Chains A and B, each alone.
Chain A
Amino acid sequence: RKEVEQDPGPFNVPEGATVAFNCTYSNSASQSFFWYRQDCRKEPKLLMSVYSSGNEDGRFTAQLNRASQYISLLIRDSKLSDSATYLCVVKVLRSSASKIIFGSGTRLSIRP
Chain B
Amino acid sequence: DAGVIQSPRHEVTEMGQEVTLRCKPISGHNSLFWYRQTMMRGLELLIYFNNNVPIDDSGMPEDRFSAKMPNASFSTLKIQPSEPRDSAVYFCASTQDSGYMNTGELFFGEGSRLTVL
- Listed in ascending order, the chain A residues whose CB lies under 8 Å from chain B are 31-32, 34, 36, 42-46, 49, 51, 87, 89, 91, 93-94, 96-105
Contacts and interface: CB of A to CB of B under 8 A. Distances in A.
Given A31-B100, A44-B108, A102 B50 contact: no
A101 B45 contact: yes
B42 A43 contact: no
| Chain B interface residue number, banded | 20 to 34
Nearest to A104: B42
B86 interface: no
12 contacts: A34-B104, A43-B110, A51-B102, A94-B55, A97-B50, A98-B99, A99-B48, A100-B48, A101-B45, A104-B41, A104-B43, A105-B43
Interface in B5-24: none
Nearest to A90: B104
Interface string B75-116: 000000000000000010001010110111110111100000
A19 B18 CA distance: 45
Contact of B111 (A43, A45, A100): A43
A85 to B, nearest CB: 9
Given A99-B56, A100-B33, A104-B43, A43 B102 contact: no
A94 B56 CA distance: 10
Contacts of B108: 43-45
A51 B102 CA distance: 9
A15 to B, nearest CB: 27
